[in-house]
């Protein structure tokens, strides 16, 4: 099993950590002021997108060679009306460009914490985590680390698909913020 380091101990960080633990992995949390000697095999950015740059600056050397799961949705939370990355880019692409020696995987951003914790969308359908990344082995590492978590995992393709995943996450957050869907609902994938 894998050692997982999670930046962020909010609802999403805890729900993601719980799923990795359910699958038999070891999880540790990294707080803003922690001095960390070693990060896990898989590192999760479960923080608001504006916090990412500071984490990259502080942990650049430690992140080299790691599988990094970016769950961020770069939403303009002041207006809930736009994303804060260029239209032809994504938060995951920005992170990958800043960390060329890290294997970046987009994931968990199209799910809410409640659906990750309950493992169901709207109390009826299995929660699905979609992964996008250019390194097939990195996506496989995350998928294997989630086996036994009761989540479904789908390989959504190359890292360029992160743009569409972030758009889905943005739409879902916007709908929930406007109280058009609940925070226990969201998108499901059925086949």
pLDDT of residue 60: 94
Residue 9 structure tokens: 């101990």
Q: Which residues contact 95 (CB under 8 A, 6 or more apart)?
A: 45, 52, 56, 68, 70, 102, 104
CATH architecture of 3-177: 3-Layer(aba) Sandwich (3.40)
Which stretches of the chain drop beneath a pLDDT of 70? none
CA 125 to chain centroid: 20
Mean pLDDT of the chain, nearest integer:
94
Percent of the chain with pLDDT over 90: 82
pLDDT of residue 33: 75
- At 131, give phi and psi (nearest 5°): -115, 135
pLDDT of residue 80: 79
pLDDT of residue 87: 87
How is the chain split into domains, by residue range? 3-177
pLDDT of residue 118: 96
- Whole-structure pTM value: 0.95
pLDDT of residue 14: 98
């Amino acid at each position: 099993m894998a050692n997982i380091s999670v930046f962020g101990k909010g609802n999403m960080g805890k729900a993601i950590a719980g799923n990795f633990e359910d699958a038999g992995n070891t999880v540790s949390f990294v707080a803003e002021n922690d001095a960390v000697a070693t990060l896990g095999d898989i590192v999760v950015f479960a923080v608001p997108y504006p916090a990412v740059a500071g984490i990259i600056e502080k942990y650049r050397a430690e992140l080299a060679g790691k599988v990094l799961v970016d769950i961020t949705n770069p939403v303009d939370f002041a207006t809930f009306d736009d994303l804060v990355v260029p239209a032809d880019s994504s938060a995951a692409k920005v992170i990958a460009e800043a960390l060329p020696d890290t294997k970046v995987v987009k994931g968990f951003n199209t799910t809410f914490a409640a659906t990750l914790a309950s493992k169901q969308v709207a109390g009826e359908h299995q929660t699905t985590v979609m992964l996008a990344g250019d390194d097939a082995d990195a996506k496989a590492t995350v998928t294997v680390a989630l086996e036994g978590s009761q989540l479904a995992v789908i390989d959504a393709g190359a890292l360029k698909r992160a743009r569409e995943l972030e758009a889905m996450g943005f739409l879902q957050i916007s709908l929930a913020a406007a109280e058009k869907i609940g925070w226990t609902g969201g998108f499901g994938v059925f086949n």
